Each structure stands twice: as structure tokens, then as C-alpha cells.
């Protein structure tokens, strides 16, 4: 029986394109995980947490996500080297790179933990947290989750897609089981412990898989610094700025709702955000493996245009279908599910937010194509635009630091703008649309002048 299954898989592997086979495998497991996540976050969690605690989930998790920022920036910068060294079988350089990333991760985890302890009181006041135990578990969650960028990048770059598929199912399963046992007893703190357990199991298993992958290649450690040095000088700034702006976009929207609007609004935003992510599950598996596929094609000097166009078409079509379904059925769902009934007012925001999810995915695909070719000219336009919009979002809700500087009629206009979730969603859409326009323009530019852009190491 096992041999028969193995033979079928080998035939599919030989006949199907890599992106179809691997994304299909990840799709099946991730969709099972998505169902489990749906049950956990939208049925189990609302059953045991009140509106005040529900609205706290997004600000807390996104705030501690800055702990993963340093490793995320560096791993995104060197992922091309992981792919390059693996393709050229330069195992000594690859093992040295992984070793140094681990050391860097230890150092940055300590530093970000200190920064968290320094800023936690200010955050707690604005996020309306009155429990010290929540701050403690936030710190533990920061330390554990800071390693996820490293294991994620290495498993993708090493093309350990079966591990990614298994983790797509196991991680939400651990979260669900822990939530069932811990939420009734410990409330919001129990949810944080459940998150810690789910992330920890992912880091440990993925890390062990990478270790097993590198172990047979008993190459002597070899320096890679001369390869990395020119690109660190050239691109480190854009990666740091891009990482910071990306974190702000994940943190500011739920934090602005929590800080400036009511507890009911922040809980409603929790439902809007979770349900509007349903289109993402339709194309998440394909997007997850897009970077290593495009990078490998670029290394082999193969055209990636068909892969990119096909991914965009599939993303847009599947996203629009799910968005239409949400537009029709989300009001009925809120009336049907007892845990959601008191938040039915917020169902009208879901389909609009899901449009942004699809647009953000297209933005990500075009951006991934440029990064796979090591082209970052677009970032110098997209990053300032994103920073201006995210700053505008926070200021429009009433932040008065500039009230004594800017003319009175400007603040009169700002005060006249309705402060609700529509404002958040429209600014999110604006950012995605402008990002797509900038990326597409640069895709056409490098298509006409392929040798003028990108780094000489990779073009």
C-alpha cells in the first residue's frame, strides 16, 4: 500500500510543475489547519473571552511581533544566499550562514526583550491592560516567536515543503487543544500560553528538520562574508526600513482601534480581521512557496513571467469569489452563530476588508517577483508612501502631537472625519493599491531593461 502511494506521488512529481505539486500538498494541509484555526479563533475563543479581551488579541500579538523583526530582516536579506549556496552545493558556506543566523537570533532576542520591558508599561496604558501576568506571557511569547522567521525562511529555501505542510496542520491543532483546556481557567493569559505552545512546537520541529537536512553534508565551515559584505552595504537600509514599515502596518490598525475607539469596536475589528482573511486561505499555499520557486528560476536564468501571471490570476479570481460569498452570507453567519450575535453590526465591514486582503496578496506577488530578481528600486518609492499613509491613519484618529504646529483649519477638517472602521479599511486599501502600481511599473521597467537593475551577483 505504501509503495503504491509512493509510486503515485513520484509520477505526480515528474508530471506536475513544482509550484503546482508543492502548493497542492501545502494547500491540503493548510486548509485543514485553516478549519481548525477558524474553530479556535471564532468559536472557542469568543466563547470564553469577553469583548474587552477579544479586542486585545490583535494589538498584543502584533506588538510583540517586533521581537521577530531583526531576524526577519536579516533572513529576508540572505534568503538568496541560502538558495544560491544550496543550488551550487556550497555546503560549507551554507552551514556557516545558518550558524551565524542562530547567534544573531540569540543576541537580538535578548535586546528586543529588554526593549519590551522598557516599553511595556506605556503600551499597557494605551492598550488598557491591567494584569501583570499578561505582560509576563507577552515577554515569553516574544522570545519564542522571534525564531519563526529563521525556521520559516530556511524550510522554504531548503524546499522542505512536507515539513511546511505538516506544520500547517499541527500548529493550529496544538493551539486549539491548549485553548480548550486553558481558556476556561486562565482567560486571556491562557490564550497567550496556547499561542506560545503552538509556536514552540513549530520552531522545534522545523529546526530539527533543518538540522537533519544539513547534517549529511559534512562540509567544513567556510566564510561567506565576502559574498554578503557588498549587499549588506547596499541593501541593509532598505530591508530595515521595509521591515519597520511592515511591522507598523500590522500593529497600528488594531492598536488605533483599541486606543481611540471602544472595547466593542476593538472586539468587532477582531472578527472583521479574522473573517476577512478567508480569501487568503484560497491562495496562501501558493504564495508561501513562490519566493524559492522564483529565486531558483532566476538562478537558472529561466523565465518566471508565466508563473507570476498565473499566480496573480488565480489569486484575484479566488479572492473575488470568496469576497462575494462573504458579502452575501456574513450577515446571516453573525445571526446564526451565538458567539457572534452581539457583533453582527460589524458584518458590513468584512467583505470590504477581504478586498484589501486580495489586493495585498497581489502587492505581495509583484513585490516577491522583484525581490527574487534582487531589484529594490520600487521599495524606495513604496516605503515612504506606506509610512505616510500609516502615519496619517494614526493622526486622523485624533493624535494631537502636531496640533500646535499645523493650522487650526486642518485639525477642524480632521475632527470632521468619521472615526470608525471604514477609515481603517479605506487606508489599508489605498496602501495596497499604491503598492501594486509602484511594483507593476518597476516590473515593466526591468522587463525592458533587464540588465540595468538588480545586483550583479544575481542578474
pLDDT for 237-279, tens place per residue?
888 998 899 999 999 999 999 988 888 999 999 999 989 988 8
Overall average pLDDT of the 74-84 stretch: 78
Residues 227-238 have pLDDT tens digits of 777 778 888 888
Task: Label each residue of 303-319 as H, E or C.
Answer: CCHHHHHHHHHHHHHHH
pLDDT of residue 151: 87
Q: Give me the phi and psi of 302, to 5 degrees please.
A: -100, 150
Query: Cα–Cα distances in Å, from 355 out to 15, 185, 266, 325, 366?
Result: 35, 37, 20, 12, 17
- How many Å from the N-terminal Cα to the C-terminal Cα in the chain? 46
pLDDT of residue 1: 44
Query: Cα–Cα distances in Å, from 366 out to 190, 432, 434?
Result: 39, 11, 12
Overall average pLDDT of the 308-333 stretch: 88
Residues 41-58 have pLDDT tens digits of 888 999 899 888 988 999
Give 6: exposed, middle or buried? Use CB within 10 Å, 0-12, 13-18, 19+. exposed
- DSSP type of residue 218: -
Say which residue, 139 or 27, is predicted with more confidence: 139
Q: Cβ(252)–Cβ(393) under 8 Å?
A: yes
pLDDT of residue 161: 72
pLDDT of residue 296: 65
Amino acid at each position: 500500500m505504501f509503495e503504491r502511494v509512493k509510486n503515485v506521488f513520484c509520477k505526480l512529481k515528474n508530471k506536475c510543475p513544482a509550484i503546482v505539486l508543492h502548493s497542492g500538498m501545502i494547500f491540503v494541509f493548510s486548509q485543514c489547519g485553516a478549519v481548525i484555526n477558524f474553530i479556535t479563533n471564532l468559536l472557542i475563543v469568543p466563547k470564553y473571552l469577553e469583548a474587552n479581551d477579544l479586542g486585545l488579541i490583535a494589538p498584543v500579538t502584533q506588538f510583540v511581533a517586533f521581537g521577530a523583526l531583526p531576524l526577519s530582516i536579516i533572513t529576508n536579506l540572505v534568503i538568496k544566499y541560502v538558495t544560491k549556496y544550496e543550488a551550487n552545493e556550497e555546503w560549507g558556506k551554507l552551514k556557516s550562514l545558518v550558524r551565524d543566523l542562530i547567534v544573531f537570533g540569540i543576541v537580538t532576542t535578548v535586546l528586543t526583550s529588554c526593549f519590551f520591558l522598557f516599553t511595556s508599561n506605556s503600551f499597557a496604558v494605551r492598550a488598557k491592560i491591567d494584569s501583570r501576568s499578561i505582560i509576563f506571557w507577552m515577554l515569553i511569547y516574544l522570545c519564542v516567536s522571534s525564531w519563526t522567521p529563521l525556521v520559516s525562511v530556511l524550510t522554504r529555501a531548503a524546499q522542505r515543503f512536507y515539513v511546511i505542510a505538516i506544520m500547517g496542520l499541527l500548529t493550529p491543532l496544538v493551539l486549539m487543544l491548549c485553548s480548550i483546556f486553558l481558556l476556561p481557567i486562565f482567560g486571556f493569559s491562557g490564550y497567550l500560553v496556547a499561542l506560545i505552545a503552538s509556536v514552540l512546537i513549530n520552531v522545534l520541529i522545523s529546526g530539527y528538520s533543518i538540522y537533519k537536512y544539513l547534517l549529511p553534508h559534512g562540509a567544513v565551515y567556510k566564510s561567506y562574508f565576502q559574498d554578503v559584505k557588498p549587499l549588506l552595504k547596499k541593501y541593509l537600509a532598505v530591508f530595515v526600513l521595509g521591515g519597520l514599515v511592515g511591522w507598523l502596518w500590522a500593529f497600528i490598525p488594531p492598536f488605533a482601534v483599541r486606543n481611540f475607539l471602544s472595547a466593542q469596536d476593538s472586539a468587532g475589528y477582531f472578527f472583521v480581521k479574522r473573517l476577512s482573511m478567508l480569501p487568503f486561505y484560497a491562495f496562501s499555499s501558493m504564495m508561501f512557496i513562490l519566493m524559492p520557486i522564483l529565486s531558483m528560476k532566476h538562478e537558472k536564468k529561466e523565465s518566471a513571467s508565466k508563473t507570476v501571471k498565473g499566480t496573480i490570476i488565480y489569486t484575484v479570481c479566488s479572492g473575488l469569489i470568496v469576497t462575494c460569498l462573504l458579502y452575501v452570507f456574513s450577515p446571516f453567519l453573525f445571526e446564526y452563530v451565538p458567539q457572534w450575535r452581539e457583533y453582527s453590526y460589524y458584518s458590513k465591514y468584512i467583505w470590504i476588508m477581504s478586498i484589501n486582503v486580495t489586493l495585498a496578496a497581489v502587492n505581495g506577488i509583484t513585490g516577491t517577483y522583484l525581490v527574487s530578481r534582487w531589484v529594490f528600486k520600487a521599495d524606495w518609492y513604496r516605503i515612504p508612501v506606506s509610512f505616510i499613509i500609516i502615519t496619517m491613519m494614526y493622526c486622523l484618529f485624533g493624535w494631537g502631537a502636531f496640533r500646535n504646529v499645523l493650522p487650526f483649519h486642518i485639525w477642524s477638517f480632521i475632527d470632521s472625519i468619521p472615526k470608525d472602521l471604514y477609515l481603517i479599511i479605506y487606508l489599508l486599501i489605498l496602501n495596497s493599491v499604491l503598492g501594486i502600481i509602484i511594483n507593476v511599473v518597476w516590473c515593466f521597467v526591468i522587463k525592458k531593461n533587464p540588465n540595468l537593475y538588480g545586483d550583479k551577483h544575481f542578474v
